[in-house]
Amino acid sequence: MSEQGVPVITIDGPGGSGKGTLAGMLAARLGWHLLDSGALYRLLALAAHNHGADLTNEEMLTGLAAHLDVQFIAAEGDQEQRTVLEGEDVSRAIRTETIGAGASRVAALPAVRQALLARQQAFREMPGLVADGRDMGTVVFPDAQLKIFLTASPEIRAERRYRQLLEKGETASLAGLLDEINARDERDMNRSIAPLRPAEDAILIDSSHMSIENVLETVQAEARKRNLLG
């Protein structure tokens, strides 16, 4: 099956394409482990903030990345996975736009990515792993059995984010969100290390006009073709 015998499905793409939701649903459907790699970069940005580290100080950030004290507590019932940093539940704190932008900055540092690589690969455990991120299929799990690259137009992604924020009772500007999405895409796609791009053997899905159920069905059909569905 693979070098380590543990199957992996990678889901890469820009933020707001629906990949987080898809990865969570797919992992639950298959009974596999879930790696939300973006959360690791977000956690590092938050840890840097808590420890007063400058986001350009590569040495200090790499040290923080190597010793990040994190626990992911699996979802139970209709609860979402919880994320704990240095003993504190930060599941919500890491989801702000500011932390997202910080994550994208620390993620551009090669030594930081290297420091987080083994930690991500350690999530590959039986019976299988669904890995969500930007470079899962290209760098972290190049031998994955199924690679998905999920996109959606920047306008649709900004709208989805806008609705999510309103539902949470927060205020937001649609134009501001679109600007942030474009700036983040620009940084993620043009960085010299592990830029956001589909693996050569990835299946491209544009979710702009698809429901999440439709996307899930499409991915399950691909998984079935590869004998990954039990």
Binding residues vs ligand C5P (CB under 6 A): 15, 37-38, 41-42, 100, 103-104, 107, 133-135, 184, 188
Q: Give helix then strand counts, H and E, for the chain.
A: 8, 8
Joined together, the tokens standing for residue 78 give 């209709």
Helix (H) or strand (E) holding 73: strand 70-73
The whole-angstrom separation of Cα 131 and Cα 28 is 13
Residue placing its CB nearer to ligand C5P in the complex, 62 or 104: 104
The residue with tokens 């799990």 is: 141
Position with the least CB separation from ligand C5P: 38
Closest approach, Cβ 178 to ligand C5P, in A, equals 15
State the pairing for strand pair 129-133/8-12. Answer: parallel
| Per-position DSSP letters for 199-228, written without gaps between them | -TTPEEEE-TT--HHHHHHHHHHHHHHTT-
Closest approach, Cβ 99 to ligand C5P, in A, equals 8
Closest approach, Cβ 136 to ligand C5P, in A, equals 6
Closest approach, Cβ 216 to ligand C5P, in A, equals 18
Closest approach, Cβ 225 to ligand C5P, in A, equals 25
3-state secondary structure of 20: helix
Residue placing its CB nearer to ligand C5P in the complex, 86 or 185: 185
Instruction: Write the DSSP symbol of residue 131.
Output: E
Residue placing its CB nearer to ligand C5P in the complex, 1 or 155: 155
Closest approach, Cβ 17 to ligand C5P, in A, equals 9
Residue placing its CB nearer to ligand C5P in the complex, 103 or 158: 103
Residue placing its CB nearer to ligand C5P in the complex, 164 or 227: 164
Residue placing its CB nearer to ligand C5P in the complex, 37 or 207: 37
C-alpha angle with apex 74: 52 to 158, nearest 5 degrees? 65
